[in-house]
Amino acid sequence: GEDVEQSLFLSVREGDSSVINCTYTDSSSTYLYWYKQEPGAGLQLLTYIFSNMDMKQDQRLTVLLNKKDKHLSLRIADTQTGDSAIYFCAESTDGATNKLIFGTGTLLAVQP
């Protein structure tokens, strides 16, 4: 069945780059997403990538997709304390429903 896995925790210093990794099992995944959840808040869509792309950049965020290894990463450049949150990887397949299958989430702690 579909499964999405992430490491649970990442700690970085302010100003460094953060790289959050995700693996998925469904080879028919068409869209892959990164969501951010701050304490007490909902899920904020950060970015997403189509499976026919290798990379997508959006300001400080870079998404890399290795479709052969079913590996997705999110790089945050110049990480700030405001980036401290849980980051969820999610995937969906094409179709009318577009339901999202989420990973476990990675807690990013940014040390000043």
Partner 1 sequence: EPEVTQTPSHQVTQMGQEVILRCVPISNHLYFYWYRQILGQKVEFLVSFYNNEISEKSEIFDDQFSVERPDGSNFTLKIRSTKLEDSAMYFCASRTDRSSYEQYFGPGTRLTVT
Footprint of partner 1 (CB under 8 A):
31, 35, 40-45, 48, 88, 90, 92, 96-105
* DSSP string covering 45-62: EEEEEETT-SEEEETTEE
**Shortest distance (Å) from residue 62 CB to partner 1:** 19
Choose between 29 and 79: whose C-beta lies nearer to partner 1: 29
- Among 9, 28, 30, smallest CA distance to 18 is for 9
Choose between 71 and 99: whose C-beta lies nearer to partner 1: 99
**Shortest distance (Å) from residue 97 CB to partner 1:** 4
Give the C-alpha separation, 68 to 111, whole Å: 34
